[in-house]
Amino acid sequence: SLPYWKTISYQIPNYIKVELEEYNKESNEECEKYFKVIHYLDSIENPWLPEDFTLTNISIEEYVNHINSCYDDIRLSIKELKEYQNHRVYDENLWIAIKDIRNNKIVATGIGEMDNIVREGILEWVQVSKEYRRKGLGKYIVNELLFITKDKAKFVTVSSKLSNKLNPLSLYKNYGFINKQIWNIYQSNR
């Protein structure tokens, strides 16, 4: 379920097996399932930011704090997120944050990457604060990232855990992402 640049950059450890589910539907082994979908940038809604919200520049620490506040099971460090800026696919224009202008609070963030070699845009992080969900902010971030990449990329991919309780798969399908693939990740004892 990885973007191309990660596939060629990382060596999968021996204790991890990755398999496209369609090739082993009968497996009884316990695994973690991830989905991957693709958008061909053929129809993108114009990004529209709801009233009372604005784009803003924020620090790495603010990105980390916001990301961590949106998930119960993810803890990202400043060091880990700084590493994204060292990736060959780093594009500062694909780091966006939205604040509520009424209280100056960061309420949504998105981080994308751009692989100029294969012209793949990648959505890495898209999250909205719990109390601000269902207001169109996630949709805005996805559309804005697609809009920014449309002249550089041939396609955009995104992947996530299939079991995510926020159901991002249906969200991305609603935004025009297609060709769902399910990847099984098996871990054996080291």
How would DSSP label each residue in 73-99? S----HHHHHHHTTSTT--GGGEEEEE
Non-local CB neighbours of 169 within 8 Å, separated by 6+ positions: 35, 37, 160, 162, 180
**Phi-psi region for residue 52, left (φ > 0), alpha (ψ -120 to 50) or beta?**
left
* pLDDT score recorded for residue 139: 92
CA 75/CA 7 separation, integer angstroms: 23
Whole-structure pTM value: 0.90
**Predicted local distance difference test score (pLDDT) of residue 170:** 86
Q: Residue 190's pLDDT is what?
A: 55
Q: What element of type H or E holds 131?
A: none
pLDDT of residue 9: 85
For 108, other C-beta atoms within 10 Å of its C-beta total 26
**Which of 60, 134, 129, 58 lies closest to 97, judged by CA?**
58
Beta strands in the chain (DSSP E): 16-20, 32-39, 53-56, 95-100, 105-115, 120-128, 155-161, 178-187
pLDDT for res 25: 65
Q: What is the pLDDT along the chain (190 residues), one digit of tens a residue?
A: 678 898 888 888 888 888 888 776 666 778 888 899 999 999 898 888 999 999 999 999 999 999 999 998 889 999 999 999 999 999 999 999 999 999 999 999 999 999 999 999 999 999 999 999 999 999 999 999 999 999 999 999 999 988 877 788 888 998 899 999 988 888 887 5
Residue 91 has what pLDDT? 97
What element of type H or E holds 69? helix 60-70
Position 167 scores a pLDDT of 80
Backbone Cα Rg of the chain: 17
Instruction: Please answer whether residues 21 and 183 qualify as being in contact, where contact means their C-beta atoms are separated by less than 8 angstroms.
Output: yes
Distance CA 147, CA 164 (A): 26
